[in-house]
Chains A and B, each alone.
Chain A
């Protein structure tokens, strides 16, 4: 039988009894994510020109763009957060937020049948947008 005081882990174990815990008290104390961490894709509907490059390059096919109807949508549950769409976007409409959105479950289908994690933006109609721009220029 080895002498317990000679065991190399014993001093460490005794110190652990009085030292602070190495972990955080998680739900009460949350470490903010580091700068540059990849969280959720954010979209700016004002600058997008619906070139569909992000849709073609997305490895997970999470992005759907309909150019005629000016619709840009993303499935957050399908998105793998690889940052490729942000890299290819010519208009810098896409950005990567460092915080992740809360986890969705498939049980959370909305009353109108909205899928969980689905987010959709509708851009202004090109004719209306042009008219508004012309009006702004006139004034």
Chain B
């Protein structure tokens, strides 16, 4: 049969960021896809050569606008490991709280985009309205809605009072209840089911074979969550990773919906377990320049992120590398796109939650 090549992107209504897929079609069926990335490469990793290591955290934060807190935290955690800096306990808990709130924010953003992709504009607006309340929490506690700039090597820069933390928990629980109704729509609406159920099925074996990470892997039944390793204070909170077994687009939506509730629960646990009081130490300042290298793994909203930092004793690091979750999920996306209908391609691409800014840095 004659083959047709359809370029998908860089500009496409469902794509929030530029990604190109050359879809090779036979009739309406995709037989292969060739991804091209590199439209928004900014060379942020190269900036370590001229930006001092104390200032690089702000650059790391700007890798991506949705998981900016986690990128800043990952950079600081790596440097703390190299320089043997102990983070004060309250600062560690505050990092967990902010990280989990940013996970809620990211998933709400994605659920909205997902709803928009399958043409449910009303639902999209509702998800983003809820996200706005989360951004308000960020503005109150960190000073910025998107770029928080609270992480420093050795701790965090701002404290949040206990009363304010309690208010945040109350607000998040209210949001969780409101979100349940929205989640009900995602789970029960027949048109959504018809559009997503059974589309783009990734089996557990395939997920392992293509090294899928994050909600993508968990929707296929692979229990994989970097938070389970218990680093950075996650050993002191109780949680079960959210998994689904279907592995289709709907399962990936459901995993993210349940993770919103899980993160709200984690924030509540963290607020209960963190040491209370005013004026507790939040930062241990590092001394001297870093020497050595380290790997850091964190669980971002999109999956596992990996940072490699190599320092040589000068003010500038030798190498800073971030392997972001979307980059790891692109092979899985290509696998899913092969064999599906052209009309399902937007949904499949969107359910991996692509963050191209992260991927290209």
Contact = CB atoms under 8 A, between A and B. Distances in A.
Given A2-B191, A9-B122, A13-B122, A59 B58 contact: yes
Interface string B118-150: 001011011001000000100111011001010
Contacts of B55: 57, 59, 84
Contact of A8 (B129, B139, B185): B185
B149 A38 contact: yes
A38 B140 CA distance: 10
Interface of B: 51, 54-55, 58-59, 120, 122-123, 125-126, 129, 136, 139-141, 143-144, 147, 149, 157-158, 181, 184-185, 188-191
Interface string A60-98: 100000000000000000001111100100000000100
Contacts of B123: 9
B149 A82 contact: yes
B136 A34 contact: yes
Contacts of A83: 143, 149, 157
B149 A22 contact: no
A30 to B, nearest CB: 14
Contacts of B125: 22
Q: Summarize B's interface: helix, strand, loop or mixed.
A: helix
Contacts of A8: 184-185, 188-189
Given A7-B190, A9-B122, A37 B185 contact: no
B81 to A, nearest CB: 22
A106 interface: no
21 contacts: A2-B191, A7-B191, A8-B185, A8-B189, A12-B122, A22-B125, A33-B139, A35-B140, A36-B143, A37-B139, A37-B143, A57-B55, A59-B51, A59-B58, A60-B58, A80-B58, A80-B147, A80-B149, A83-B143, A84-B55, A87-B157
A106 to B, nearest CB: 20
A16 interface: yes
A2 B58 contact: no
A36 B51 CA distance: 27
Contact of B185 (A9, A33, A81): A9
A34 B149 contact: no
A77 to B, nearest CB: 16
B92 to A, nearest CB: 20
B138 to A, nearest CB: 10
Q: Kindly state the interface size class of chain A when it binds its partner.
A: 20 to 34
Interface of A: 2, 7-9, 12-13, 16, 22, 33-38, 57, 59-60, 80-84, 87, 96
Contacts of B149: 38, 80-83
A38 B144 contact: yes
A37 B144 contact: yes
Contacts of B129: 22
A80 B136 CA distance: 20
A82 B68 CA distance: 13
Contacts of B120: 9
Contact of B126 (A12, A81, A82): A12
A93 to B, nearest CB: 19
A59 B125 CA distance: 37
Contacts of B58: 59-60, 80, 82
A34 B184 contact: no
Nearest to A60: B58
A80 B62 CA distance: 11
Nearest to A16: B122
Contacts of B185: 8-9, 12
A81 B149 CA distance: 9
A91 to B, nearest CB: 20
A96 B149 CA distance: 13
